[in-house]
């Protein structure tokens, strides 16, 4: 008997895409938009700011939708934080990479602080004071004047349309916005000149410019059935391709780039994860070490350890009499971490999912824990296990405020509370930011 065919649900109601409404913009929300209402229905509005009066155009939704998505296409009353977007590709219907090009740098940080405040209250039941957070999102690399765009992004993933024109994805779309330059791309990425080339036969291009070394890498994903084009770039650059099975193949040069941070050179292979702001590794390591205050001879866990950034920093502090166990699910990242930290005998790196391997290690206690989970967070079961290990301090590095807040609530169930929380603006012009929360057992505090 044949299995039943899945039923594809079609949106009910009449489409409202293209309809325009005049609205007063309410608070910012997690996701790079603000909340507004029209005739009782919620609208999630991009390219707006709290307190503005704007004309919006619906981009998604029907007459029966619980909410609508929309873009602000005309500003009737502007916020004092609004500026003219410096990027010509930013705005309604254009590139979806930057959420806040139309906002002053200080205004962007205020929006991010408001999002974190709201997520802490909603998902963790914490005020900023209870989270021991001063309410600010700290600028990284110095404060910028309004209208100036920091060129910080050392890794840029470009999309290519069917005609071979390179660009960036439009918001919530597979459509490509052609660009001749990305303003937030680091100088090393811009120097590669990938935007000026014909990429016929290619579906995607990733450009990488390492920090602290001259290493450059371009990773190509050909379209199915297409041959890789001959690539000649302006400077010596490693080239690789990703096949239809997501396997990495060297075409020219190295399979890795060398990143320099916290006094060490880090091998990062096959386009693997590395913080994309050049000052992020130093900023985050400093926040983690300041919060944990590792002592000679202590034991530590570095979970979701990547290529070993935090494990290496911890190992230097706990010394030869200490021990650091790193756990990472990516096989190539584990190989890189073992290579990067080979001289540190007190470090051991294991390959598996944290939630799978950690219970099998037999570890019943540890002094310190660092976790830098994916955007979805660690989750209730993993947090419960970590809480049982009786660490004197835990450092939680988070790239998503909602996941952080959810996991802080789970840690509270396990007897841990935040004693410090810092937020860093490591992704200017976008909705994203990074947090470092330091937690201690409740018995150690009030």
pLDDT digits (tens, 9 = 90+) for 323-352: 999 999 999 999 999 999 999 999 999 999
Q: Which pLDDT belongs to residue 9? A: 55
Where does the pLDDT of residue 446 fall: very low under 50, low under 70, confident under 90, or very high at 90 and above? very low
Distance CA 37, CA 204 (A): 38
**300 neighbors 285 (Cβ within 8 angstroms):** no
CA 106 to chain centre: 20
Is pTM beyond 0.85? Reply is yes
Which domains are seen in the chain, by residue range? 1-79 (2.40.50.140), 120-141+278-444 (3.40.50.150), 155-259 (2.40.50)
Check the annotation: does 275 bind a ligand.
yes
| Strand 216-222, strand 238-242: pairing | parallel
**367 neighbors 299 (Cβ within 8 angstroms):** yes
Q: Which pLDDT belongs to residue 148? A: 87
- In order of 99, 171, 280, 408, the CA distances from 432 in angstroms are 9, 15, 13, 19
- In order of 155, 183, 226, 235, 431, the CA distances from 186 in angstroms are 8, 8, 30, 16, 19
CA 304 to chain centre: 14
Is pLDDT of 444 > 90? Answer: no
Distance CA 23, CA 421 (A): 35
Where does the pLDDT of residue 2 fall: very low under 50, low under 70, confident under 90, or very high at 90 and above? very low
Check the annotation: does 21 bind a ligand.
no
* Residues noted as catalytic: 399
Distance CA 36, CA 29 (A): 10
Which of 345, 346, 301 has the alpha carbon at shortest distance from 323? 346
Which of 366, 360, 300, 311 has the alpha carbon at shortest distance from 333? 311
Check the annotation: does 328 bind a ligand.
yes
134-180 pLDDT, tens digit each: 999 999 988 888 888 999 999 999 999 999 999 999 999 999 999 99
39-94 pLDDT, tens digit each: 999 999 999 999 999 999 999 999 999 999 999 999 999 999 999 999 999 999 99
Q: Which pLDDT belongs to residue 236? A: 83
**96 neighbors 169 (Cβ within 8 angstroms):** yes
Q: How far apart are the first and last CA of the chain?
A: 64
Average pLDDT over residues 388-412: 98
Q: Which pLDDT belongs to residue 16? A: 97
Q: Which pLDDT belongs to residue 407? A: 98
Q: Which pLDDT belongs to residue 233? A: 75
Is pLDDT of 390 > 60? Answer: yes
Phi and psi, residue 182, nearest 5°: -100, 120
């Amino acid at each position: 008997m044949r299995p039943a065919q899945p039923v594809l649900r079609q949106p009910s109601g009449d489409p409202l895409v293209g309809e325009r409404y005049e609205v007063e913009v309410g608070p910012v929300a997690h996701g790079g938009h603000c909340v507004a209402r029209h005739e009782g229905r919620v609208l999630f509005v991009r390219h707006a700011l709290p307190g503005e009066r704007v004309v919006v155009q619906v981009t998604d939704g029907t007459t029966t939708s619980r909410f609508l998505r929309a873009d602000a296409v005309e500003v009737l009353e502007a916020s004092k934080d609004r500026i003219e977007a410096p990027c010509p590709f930013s705005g309604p219907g254009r590139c979806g990479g930057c959420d806040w090009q139309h906002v002053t740098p200080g205004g962007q940080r205020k929006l991010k602080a408001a999002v974190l405040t709201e997520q802490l209250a909603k998902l963790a039941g914490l005020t900023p004071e209870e989270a021991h957070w001063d309410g600010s999102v700290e600028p990284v690399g110095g404060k910028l004047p309004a209208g100036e765009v920091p060129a910080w992004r050392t890794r840029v993933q470009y999309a290519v349309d069917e005609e071979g024109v390179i660009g960036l994805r439009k918001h919530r779309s597979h459509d490509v916005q052609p660009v001749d330059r990305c303003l937030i791309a680091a100088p090393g990425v811009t120097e590669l000149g990938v935007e000026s080339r014909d990429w016929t036969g290619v579906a995607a291009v990733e450009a990488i410019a390492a920090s602290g070394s001259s290493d450059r890498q371009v990773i190509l994903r050909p379209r199915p059935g297409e041959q890789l084009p001959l690539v000649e770039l302006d400077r010596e650059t490693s080239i690789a391709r990703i096949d239809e099975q997501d396997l990495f193949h060297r075409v020219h040069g190295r399979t890795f780039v060398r990143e320099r941070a916290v006094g060490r050179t880090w091998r990062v292979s096959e386009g693997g994860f590395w913080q994309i702001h050049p000052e992020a590794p130093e900023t985050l390591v400093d926040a983690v070490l300041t919060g944990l205050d590792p002592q000679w001879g202590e034991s530590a866990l570095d979970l979701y350890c990547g290529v070993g950034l935090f494990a290496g920093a911890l190992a230097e502090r706990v010394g030869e009499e200490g021990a650091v166990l790193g756990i990472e699910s990516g096989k190539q990242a584990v190989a890189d971490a073992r290579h990067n930290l080979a001289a540190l005998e007190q470090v051991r790196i294991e390959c598996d999912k944290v939630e799978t391997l950690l219970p099998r290690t037999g570890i019943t206690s540890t002094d310190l824990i660092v976790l830098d989970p994916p955007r979805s967070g660690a989750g209730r079961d993993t947090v419960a296990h970590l809480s049982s290990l009786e660490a004197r301090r835990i450092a939680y590095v988070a790239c998503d405020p909602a996941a952080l807040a959810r996991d802080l609530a789970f840690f509270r169930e396990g007897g841990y509370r935040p004693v410090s929380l810092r937020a860093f603006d490591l992704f200017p012009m976008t909705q994203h930011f990074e947090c470092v929360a330091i937690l201690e057992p409740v018995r150690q505090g009030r």
